[in-house]
Structure formats: structure tokens, C-alpha cells
Amino acid sequence: MGELVQFRARDTLESLEFRPKPLLMLPDPSADSRIQSISCASQNRNVELFPISLKAASQCSVDPLASMTTQPLKFPNLVSGLSRNPMYSSQTGLCSRFTPNEWFQKQVKFYNEADCNRYYSERMRSDAVKIMREAEQRIQHSQYDTGRRLGERISDVTFWRNEIASELEKQAQEIEKMQDCKSTVTKAIQDIENPIHVAEECLYHREARKGTELVHDEAEKSLLREVETLKDGQRRLELCLDKCKDQLRNCRISKNQLELDLKNKESALGIDLFCHQINNESRGLQYYSDIEKYDPCVSKPETWAETANRIIQKSQAERTKSRQLRADAEALINRVAQEMWDSWNNSNNSLSRRCSQLVEAKSSLQQHLHKVQQEIFDVERNLELLRKSIADKSYALKVAHTRLEARAHRPDIELCRDNAYLSLQKEIEDIYRQVERMHKSLRDMENQHQRLLRIRNALEHDLALKIDAVYIDKDKVCGLRRAYPVNAMFRF
């Protein structure tokens, strides 16, 4: 009960100390009639109240506590009792009340605040509805635009997928044709072995001549040219076969690229179709934190289309090269066949003439034998020099490879195709080119070494078996060359 009395006394004190400033002051006509003079007599002291005009009260704010000279007002304790003091009763009653005008201004203030807050709340609700509608429209438009762009992307991927599939089918057919061409060239190379064997067999038989009959005559030269022609044709066919193998490998590489790109486009097309079909009601939707900040893309639409176009163009170029190579191989086979036939006829004519010209001096044969032996020695020495030079190039190649491999471990953007990288590539290619040239020269010198050995053997046999030269030329050699070893590959 004591706490309740203290709480009410504190509320009364706060009502005296805090008076809100009125929002609107309106004159009250009944105020003048309610203000009267009041006289009070208490303990030899009179208090009189004089009326104040309402206009003057509205212009100045009067603090009723400012004129007090006595002790501050103490509120009675409702529990212990109230000690009344009639002397201050009238003044106390006046100071603890609000004027009617202040009460009216307070109500007007509450009305104005309520109207303002209602208006502000209505405007906020209207703005919220507008924001929700705009957000829904924007999201629907963005989703529609994304779906439309996904449809365009599906059309592009489908177009390039069809182009690559068509090119892949054509490339597969060209690979089959190139395999047939490779088999044909391989068969042609094998079919030359028999004419080469016959020509070399004739040379070996003619080496059985003795004495002055063993000469390096026109017939032998024709045989050697025939062997050289046959081997040259075989070598050209082998080169053509190597080209066919390389072209077949390139076609397969291009086919592999087409298959890989087709597989990638099939996968991308499936993903885009899935993305194009899902909507807000689809199942399995979920959040992925910061997925919009992750950019795994490695290409742009221009580079993507350019890559697909480049793969197709490369395949078309390889198919064009393959068709041209097949035509060249067929022409080469016909040309080699004609050269074989011409060399065969020339060798036969030379042997026929040589049968009546079997004169040669032994000294001339020895001189030729010495020259051939010296040349063989020089070739063998050059062969050793070439092999050593080729072996020495491995160190420079290792250095270039080590540099290129070490620079391949540069991090991120530092992995730049700079001048040093291009120089290393050029250096390696140049080393390979030079080594290939030396290998080619080595093969040529080895072939020449073998030919020189055969010539040396021919001269030695000619010195030992010159007596049997006529028998060898007429019976053995000419009898062996009565029929040309024609096969199914070369038709005349």
C-alpha cells in the first residue's frame, strides 16, 4: 500500500513538472466567466487572484512555481494521514491542474499524430505492395529472358553438334579409304621385291665372269640402273606409305577431336536442356552458397564457335589432303610401274649388245676396284662422323627439353607464350630438323655403302670369273630375263 501511494505521488509530481507544448491554441469564451476573484484568510494572510486576459496568457508562458517564496510543495502521505494547511489550499489546487486550453491542444496533437501515422503507414503499405509487384515482374522477366537465351544456346549447340556429327561420318569414311590406299601401297612395295630380286640376281650371275670378260659394261650399268630405279620406286612408295600413315594418323587425331567435341557438346546439350526445362515448381532445387561469384568459364561464345569451326575446318583440310594423297599414290604406282618396265627393257637391250662386246683390261678392273675400295673407306669414315655428330646433338636437345619442361611449371598467368618459349620450340624443331637431315644423309650413305660393296663384289668376281662371262651373259643372265615377273599390282 505504501508503494502504491509513493507511485501515485511520483506521477502527480511528474504531471506538475512536465507540461507538453500545445500544438494549437484556440480561445475559450467561457474562460472569462470561470475566472473569479477568490479571497482566502488564513493565519493573518490574504491571497487574492485577479483574472488575466486569454490573449495575454496565450502569448507568454507563466510558470506557477516561479513566484513561490516558501518551501517546495510536499504531497501528503495517504497512509499516515494528511496534515491540511488551509493557507495554501487555493494555490495548491491551481498549480496541480491543466487549463482547458492545454487539454484541448493535447487532444488536437494526438489527432494530428494519429492522422500522420495512419497516412505514413498507408503510404508504406502501398510502397511495399508496389515493390513486391515490381520484384515479381522483374524476376519473371529475368527468368523468361534466361530461358530464351538457354533456348538460343541449345539451338547453337545443336547446330554445331549436327555439323560435327556429319563431319565425323565423312572423316570415318575417308579413314576407311585411306586404309585401303595404305594397303595398296604396301602391296605395291612388296610386289617390287621380285623384280629387284631378279635384277640383283642377274648382277650376281654376271659377277661370275673371269679374266678380261669381267667389265663394268653398259649391261651392268643398265642392271644397276634397273636396281636403282626399282629401289628408288620402292623408296618413293615407302615415302608415300609413310605419308599415308601420317595422314591416317592425322585423320584419326582429327576424328578423335571430333568425337571428343561431339561428346562434350552432347553433355552440354543435355545440361542445357535440363536447365531449360526446370522451373519454380521443379523438384530437387536447392541453394548453392556464393555460386554467382564462382566463374568456371574458360571460353566466350566467339571463341567457342571459333573452336568448333576450327575443328571442322581442320577435319575438312585433313580430308582434302587425304583425297589428294590417295590420288598421288595412285599416280605414283602407275609411274613406278612404267619406270620398271622401261628399265627392264633397257637392261635387256644392253645385255643383248654386251654379248658381242666382252673386252676389258684387267688393270682397268683393278683400278676400278681400288677406287671403289677407297670410296668405301671414305664412306665408312663419314658414316662414323655422322653417327658421332648425331649423338652429340642429343645434349643440346636435352638442354632445350629441360628448359621447356622447367618453364612449364610457371604458376598461373606467368605461364606465358613469350619469346623465350617460342625460341625454345623453334630450337627443338631446328634440332629435330637437323638431326633428320643427318639421319637422311646417313641412310643415303649407308645405301651407297651397300651399293659400293655390291660393285666391289662385282669387280672381284669379274676378275676371278672372267672366263665364264659369255656363258653367264648368254645362258644364265639372258635366260633369267626372258619373262618379266608381272603381278596383279602392275599391269602393262
Q: Is pLDDT of 15 > 50?
A: no
pLDDT of residue 457: 83
pLDDT band at 320 (very low <50, low <70, confident <90, very high): very high
> Quick check: 212 and 341 in contact, CB under 8 A?
no
Q: What is the pTM of this model?
A: 0.52
pLDDT of residue 165: 93
Q: Is pLDDT of 481 > 50?
A: yes
pLDDT band at 31 (very low <50, low <70, confident <90, very high): very low
> Quick check: 473 and 180 in contact, CB under 8 A?
no
List the single range of 60-69, 170-179, 389-398 with lowest mean pLDDT: 60-69
* Residue 70 phi, psi dihedral angles, 5° rounding: -90, -170
pLDDT band at 383 (very low <50, low <70, confident <90, very high): confident
Task: Kindly give the residue spans of alpha helices, DSSP state H, lying in 355-418.
Answer: 362-407
For the segment 114-136, what is each residue's pLDDT rounded down to a tens digit? 999 999 999 999 999 999 999 99
Q: For the chain, state the CA radius of gyration.
A: 59
Rounded Cα distance, 74 and 16, in Å: 12
Q: Is pLDDT of 453 > 70?
A: yes
Rounded Cα distance, 375 and 373, in Å: 5
pLDDT band at 30 (very low <50, low <70, confident <90, very high): very low
| C-alpha torsion angle, residues 364, 367, 371, 377 (rounded to 10) | 140
- Average pLDDT on 443-461 reads 84
Rounded Cα distance, 267 and 275, in Å: 12
C-alpha cell at 42: 488564513
pLDDT of residue 463: 65
Q: Is pLDDT of 104 > 50?
A: yes
CA nearest neighbour of 447 among 208, 234, 222, 274? 234
CA nearest neighbour of 164 among 253, 263, 248? 263
Stronger pLDDT, 80 or 194, i.e. the higher one:
194
- Average pLDDT on 202-221 reads 76
Name the burial class of residue 177, with classes exposed (0-12), middle (13-18) and buried (19+) by CB atoms within 10 angstroms of its CB: middle
Exposure letters 434-472 (e unless 16+ CB within 10 A, then b): ebeeeeeebeebeeebebbebbbebbebbbebbebbeeb
Rounded Cα distance, 266 and 66, in Å: 94
C-alpha cell at 304: 567457342
C-alpha cell at 443: 641412310
- Average pLDDT on 258-281 reads 91
Q: Is pLDDT of 339 > 60?
A: yes
For the segment 423-441, what is each residue's pLDDT rounded down to a tens digit? 888 888 998 888 898 888 8
pLDDT of residue 199: 86
C-alpha cell at 245: 600413315
> Quick check: 485 and 195 in contact, CB under 8 A?
yes
Rounded Cα distance, 270 and 283, in Å: 18
pLDDT band at 393 (very low <50, low <70, confident <90, very high): confident
Stronger pLDDT, 19 or 419, i.e. the higher one:
419
- Average pLDDT on 270-297 reads 86
> Quick check: 73 and 89 in contact, CB under 8 A?
no
Rounded Cα distance, 335 and 236, in Å: 11
pLDDT of residue 45: 40
Query: Which range among 255-269, 440-454, 463-477 has the greatest average pLDDT?
Result: 255-269
CA nearest neighbour of 208 among 455, 456, 478, 466? 466
Rounded Cα distance, 323 and 177, in Å: 9
List the single range of 42-46, 194-198, 256-260, 438-442 with lowest mean pLDDT: 42-46
Give DSSP secondary structure letters for 107-175: HHHHHHHHHHHHHHHHHHHHHHHHHHHHHHHHHHHHHHHHHHHHHHHHHHHHHHHHHHHHHHHHHHHHH
> Quick check: 251 and 178 in contact, CB under 8 A?
yes
pLDDT of residue 404: 81
Name the burial class of residue 293, with classes exposed (0-12), middle (13-18) and buried (19+) by CB atoms within 10 angstroms of its CB: exposed
Give DSSP secondary structure letters for 12-38: HHHHHH--PPPS-----TTHHHH----
For the segment 133-190, what is each residue's pLDDT rounded down to a tens digit? 999 999 999 989 988 998 998 999 999 999 999 999 999 999 999 999 999 999 888 8
SS3 48: strand
Q: Is pLDDT of 254 > 50?
A: yes
pLDDT of residue 61: 42
Mean pLDDT score of the chain, rounded to an integer? 77
The residues facing 41 across adjacent strands are: 46
